[in-house]
Amino acid sequence: MFSPIPHLSFPAAYLEDVDTQRLGELEEELDRLEKELAQANIDAELATLSEQNEKIKCWRDKYETDLSQFRKDVENIAAIRDSLPNDCFKSIDIESPLFNG
């Protein structure tokens, strides 16, 4: 079955080399950085940027959709233009009188 885990001991010799003053300085710096991080409010900033990113994606998608429709409209107008005759075959003289007399 399972064998028991041997007792782990932490030698006291390791504790003799610890610089308590430096450890205190590091703890103070860690506290200061944690406060800075909390004040920076990174989570809220990230949420705002993500929301703005989604809006930009929607605008881009709408732009692409509109651009595609405009291109289709231009092609349609070009097809209509190309189907029209080059000359007008029925001319109406606007200046001539209707009755000769």
* Domain residue extents for the chain: 20-82
Q: How far apart are CA 78 and CA 76, in angstroms?
A: 5
For tokens 């651009």, the residue is 67
By C-alpha distance, which of 25, 49, 45 is closest to 37? Answer: 45
pLDDT at 92 over 90: no
With residue 96 as reference, give the H or E element that holds it. none
Please tell me the pTM assigned to this model. 0.47
Which 3 state secondary structure label does DSSP give 3? coil
Please report, for the chain, how many H helices and E strands are present, in that order.
3, 0
| pLDDT tens digits along 8-65 | 565 555 666 777 888 899 999 999 999 988 888 888 889 999 999 999 999 999 999 9
Extract the tokens encoding 69: 């429709």
Q: How many CB atoms lie within 10 A of CB 57?
A: 10
> What is the average pLDDT value for the chain, to the nearest integer?
84
Residues 77 and 92: their CA atoms lie apart, in Å, by: 26
